[in-house]
Chain A
């Protein structure tokens, strides 16, 4: 072994007092910054072209972002599709998700939705139909619709928030569930608030929604 250098050894050196969290935030000795994961909905307006969905899902797996659901569908503009993502991450992670999404070339606009945004999911639940009357009663309780009935099975369609669907599935459990298929959450902002929409041409990059220093509707 050779190649060492001269100089004061590590224990002889001054050390700084400060520290950062694992998220790179300087620790204020007074208020230690804590970032717990939270669940939120992000909407992305994208070019309606092949490959975008795989770009987005690839981004999430590569960067280890925690994703609960992802849905995609056409919009009022035939050149655009909307991807709705439910994610669970601490705040810095949510910021990263928004910025990384915005960086994909086919992504037009990205917005985190307010907690009061309309969120809907559709589920098809196929249960054993031994007691059709009881099945119908439970379906009623959740505003469900029976879309298929055979002597052995009944399939009920339910729409609503994911919590509502979770409770419906729990309630159907008593009959014996054969199969479930769920779509994942889709969402829109309420009233005049935009979800994620194309910037009008006069808006410059200065008004980028992903820019952290400018308070914007998506910063809650």
Chain B
């Protein structure tokens, strides 16, 4: 355990942490390291070696995966490589870990699996990365070419299955080009709008002899990305913002992926424009800033939803206007002219019509807009209104003495006990919403969650990937639900084996709580398949895996237990028994009007 643990920490100890700031120089760095290593690298002799060489050339340091028949030649080549492989307990976990690695580092996370069940186990994680545009490269083994189509042992049409959930995928059928296929897939995963790519590797292709070194990671000629927006529309948009009396910025996940957080902050502060975020946009703007309205949408803050509903100019950056954000389209920002900045032309006017379509890289376009602005909008009254809403719809929650511990209290205590750069990962459900609402995010790439797909079980494996990508001084906390944790807790074996410093806090309500809340609101309280009448003791379970276990039942245990768990150097699990009846508010029911969010069940 300790041997491997030291190799885990070494790359993060170098003065070159794989953080987002490095993004822009990355190609240069990659070039350098390749030039350097060219002299020492042995020439490739097999397809599998060419695959691994392609990863090395791209600057890959880590990979997550599970062995198996059809991928064995690739693993055999990996055995000689400096790439550190984290052996996962389940391929779904490998995909989520790679996805989280991509979110935190900004560089594609790599996952590997064998053919058939290995590949299908990756599917949930690939779909998750696709929905959230996270950079990721999946390498799957496949049966030898002569068996393809014969229903051979562990044969699944992996490219067929993953076509709708990848940015691009390839069935690699030639040992001489297999390495270049991997290089290209890596480049495609990170360029433009990021996303998951997959290369399917038939076993005879990876086993075959070849002396073909892979090409440099480069997107194909047919792939074009527009960086700068049309200057005429930039000009019109700037005039519109200047003349607006109720402007609002809506920052999405694209702001973080495009490294535009800094530019957006400067723009907002310079022109004093209130800032709303989407859920993937959390961390793009400091939530403790007075201009921050925090997250809008289904469980967004009341003030964010009021601001988005009443603004007259909405500057949406790197957002795809998902239905959890917009609620009913008819009532979404109905008075607002929309300035929409996105790198993907297909997002423009897909859900909400863009009056000012600005196609381009978020940072570039925000800089263009900033340069074009001559004055700031006159919006004193609007800003005062936004502040008023912040106090009218404060997120202050009740913590009655006669009820069990409230979940919000636990989330706030965790935030208190950790640094500003701590990384939070979650499962899906009520706990995820409390983690959005009651943790104050101030830095990009510190919020790691399953947004678009809403995958229960995302929390622990993503904490593993986040831990490996994060700097040593960043704590990694997984705020999980009991139901979500049960889906992937085998990952604890990995966290213990790799001695990863992760704190899992299970907000244990002994329900799959979000479903229970909806049943109470919309199905007359009929708790079909949402109640557990028996629950494992997660602290003891953790101990059985070799992790440190803790338990919280009372308010006065919260702070000390959290401190002990955070201090523990290795994986720890707190089984936090919270109020089973606690509900998440505000809430906009599906398809509802954001401005009419409910503050309690009787308003639904």
Do A and B belong to a common assembly? yes
**Given A4-B599, A4-B601, A7-B394, A24 and B346 contact (CB-CB distance below 8 Å):** no
Residues in A with CB closer than 8 Å to B331 are 19-20
B contact residues around A2 at 8 Å (CB) = 398, 400, 403, 406, 579, 581-583
Q: In the bound complex, what is the Cα–Cα distance between A69 and B554 (angstroms)?
A: 65
Does A1 contact B352, Cβ atoms closer than 8 Å?
no
Would you call B163 and A4 a contact (CB within 8 A)?
Answer: no
Nearest residue (CB) in B for A101 is: B346
Across the interface, B302 reaches (CB within 8 A) one of A5, A24, A50, A206, namely A5
How many Å lie between the Cα of A6 and that of B392 in the bound state? 8
Q: A5-B397, A5-B585, A6-B394 are in contact. Are A103 and B346 (CB under 8 A)?
A: yes
Q: Determine if A178 is an interface residue (Cβ-Cβ < 8 Å).
A: no
- Taking the closest CB of chain A, its distance from the CB of B296, in whole angstroms, is 15
Q: Mark B320-357, 1 if CB is under 8 A from A, else 0.
A: 01000000011110111100000011101111110101
Which residue of chain B has its CB nearest to the CB of A8? B392
Bound Cα distance A144, B350 (Å): 44
Q: Do the beta carbons of B310 and A14 come within 8 Å of each other?
A: yes
By a CB distance below 8 angstroms, the chain B residues around A210 are 345
Question: Is B306 in contact with A54, judged by CB distance below 8 angstroms?
Answer: no
Contacts of A6 in B (CB 8 A): 394, 396, 599
* Known contacts A3-B397, A7-B392, A24-B321; is-contact A95 B349 (Cβ 8 Å): yes
Given A7-B302, A8-B392 in contact, is the A107-B222 Cβ separation under 8 Å?
Answer: yes
* CB neighbours of A214 from chain B (8 A): 230
Smallest Cβ-Cβ distance to B395: which chain A residue: A5
Query: Does B37 count as interface, using CB distance less than 8 angstroms?
Result: no
Contact indicator A102/B345 (Cβ below 8 Å): yes
Question: What are the interface flags for B403-416 relative to A under an 8 Å C-beta threshold, 1 for contact and 0 otherwise?
Answer: 10010000000000
**Residues A26 and B334 in contact, CB atoms below 8 Å apart:** yes
> Does residue B586 face the partner (Cβ distance < 8 Å to A)?
yes
Q: Contacts A16-B334, A100-B346, A213-B233 given; indicate if A24 touches B353 (C-beta within 8 A).
A: yes
Interface 0/1 of A187-212, CB less than 8 Å to B: 00000000000000000011010111
Check if B579 sits within 8 Å of A211, measured CB to CB: no
What does the 1/0 interface line of A119-150 toward B look like (CB < 8 Å)?
00000000000000000000000000000000
Q: Verify A10–B596 contact, CB threshold 8 A.
A: yes
State whether B233 touches A205 (Cβ < 8 A): no
Interface positions of A from 9 to 34, Cβ below 8 Å from B: 9-10, 13-27
Task: Chain A residues near B224: list those with CB within 8 A.
Answer: 205, 208
Of the candidates A3, A25, A55, A100, which one forms a contact with B353 in the assembled complex, judged by CB atoms under 8 Å apart? A25
Chain B contact residues: over half helix, strand or loop, or mixed?
A: loop
Question: What residues of chain B lie closer than 8 Å to A55, measured between beta carbons?
Answer: 163
B396 neighbours in A (Cβ, 8 Å): 5-6
A19 touching B334, Cβ below 8 Å: yes
Chain B residues contacting A58 (CB-CB under 8 Å) are 163-164
Judge if B226 is at the interface, Cβ distance under 8 Å.
yes
Q: Which residue of A lies closest to B403 (CB)?
A: A2
- CA of A12 to CA of B581 in the docked complex: distance in angstroms? 27
Q: How far is the CB of A83 from chain B (nearest CB, A)?
A: 14
**Which residues 36-61 of A have a CB within 8 angstroms of B?**
47, 50-51, 54-55, 58
With an 8 A cutoff between CB atoms, is A75 at the interface? no
A108 within 8 A of B: yes
Give CA–CA (A208, B227) in the complex, Å: 12
Q: Is the CB of A3 within 8 A of B585?
A: yes
Query: Hey, which chain B residues are within 8 Å of A106, CB to CB?
Result: 222
Is residue B171 within 8 Å, beta carbon to beta carbon, of the partner chain?
A: yes
Contacts of A26 in B (CB 8 A): 334-337, 353, 355
Question: How many residues of A sit at the interface, in one of the four size bands?
Answer: 35 or more
Give Cα A64 to B250, complex, Å.
28
Report A-chain residues with C-beta under 8 Å of the C-beta of B344: 103
By a CB distance below 8 angstroms, the chain A residues around B159 are 51
CB pair B345 A24 closer than 8 Å:
no
Q: Complex formed: what's the CA distance from A9 to B602 in Å?
A: 10
- A10 adjacent to B600 (CB under 8 Å): no
- DSSP majority for the A interface? loop
Which residue, A2, A15, A50, has most C-beta atoms of chain B within 10 A?
A2
Considering only residues 53-106 of chain A, those with a C-beta below 8 Å from chain B are 54-55, 58, 62, 92, 95-96, 99-100, 102-103, 105-106
- CB-nearest residue of chain B to A107: B222
A165 to B306, CA, bound (A): 57
Within 8 Å CB of B348, what residues of A? 99, 212
B222, A105: Cβ atoms closer than 8 Å: yes
Measured CA separation A214–B351 after assembly (Å) = 20
Are the CB atoms of A54 and B160 closer together than 8 Å? yes
By the criterion CB–CB under 8 Å, are B226 and A16 in contact? no
The verdict on B35 contacting chain A, using a C-beta distance below 8 Å, is: no
Q: Which residue of A19, A51, A107 contacts B330 across the interface (Cβ within 8 Å)?
A: A19
Check: B269 CB closer than 8 A to any chain A CB.
Answer: no
**Per-residue 0/1 for B506-539: is the Cβ within 8 Å of any A Cβ (1 yes, 0 no)?**
0000000000000010000000000000000000
Residue among B167, B233, B334, B603 having the largest count of chain A Cβ atoms under 10 Å: B334
A96 to B586, CA, bound (A): 33
- What are the residues of chain B within 8 A of A103 when measuring CB–CB? 344, 346
Does B598 reach chain A (CB closer than 8 Å)?
yes
Scan B231-272; emit 1 where CB is below 8 A from any A CB, else 0. Answer: 011000000000000000000000000000000000000000
- State the CA gap A5–B582 with chains docked (Å): 12
Q: Check: B152 CB closer than 8 A to any chain A CB.
A: no
Question: Quick check: is B168 within 8 A (CB to CB) of the other chain?
Answer: yes
In the assembled complex, the Cα of A47 lies from the Cα of B221 at a distance in Å of 11
- B223 located at the interface, meaning its Cβ lies under 8 Å from any Cβ of chain A in the complex: yes
Choose from A4, A18, A47, A212 the contact partner of B349 (Cβ within 8 Å). A212
In B549-601, the 8 Å CB interface with A consists of 579, 581-586, 595-601
* Chain B residue with the shortest CB-CB distance to A4: B600
Query: Taking A5-B396, A15-B595, A18-B335 as contacts, is the C-beta distance between A24 and B600 under 8 angstroms?
Result: no
A105–B346 alpha-carbon span in the complex (Å): 14
* Contact present for A22 and B310 (CB under 8 Å): no
Beta-carbon contact of A10 and B335 below 8 Å = no
Residues of A within 8 A of B351 (CB): 24
With A1-B583, A4-B599, A103-B344 given, name 18 new contacts (CB 8 A). Answer: A1-B520, A2-B403, A2-B579, A5-B395, A6-B599, A10-B596, A16-B335, A20-B334, A22-B329, A22-B330, A24-B321, A24-B352, A25-B353, A54-B160, A92-B349, A95-B349, A99-B345, A105-B188
Which A positions have Cβ atoms within 8 angstroms of B?
A: 1-10, 13-27, 47, 50-51, 54-55, 58, 62, 92, 95-96, 99-100, 102-103, 105-108, 205-206, 208, 210-214
Chain B residues with CB under 8 Å of chain A are 159-160, 163-164, 167-168, 171, 188, 220, 222-228, 230, 232-233, 302, 306, 309-310, 321, 329-332, 334-337, 344-346, 348-353, 355, 357, 359, 392-398, 400, 403, 406, 520, 579, 581-586, 595-601, 603
* 27 pairs, A vs B, C-beta closer than 8 Å: A2-B400, A2-B579, A3-B584, A3-B585, A4-B583, A6-B394, A7-B392, A7-B393, A9-B599, A14-B310, A15-B596, A18-B334, A20-B331, A20-B334, A22-B329, A26-B337, A26-B353, A47-B222, A51-B171, A54-B160, A58-B164, A105-B167, A205-B226, A205-B227, A212-B345, A212-B348, A212-B357
In the A-B complex, the 8 residue pairs with the closest CB atoms: A4-B600, A18-B334, A3-B583, A99-B346, A24-B352, A25-B353, A205-B224, A205-B226
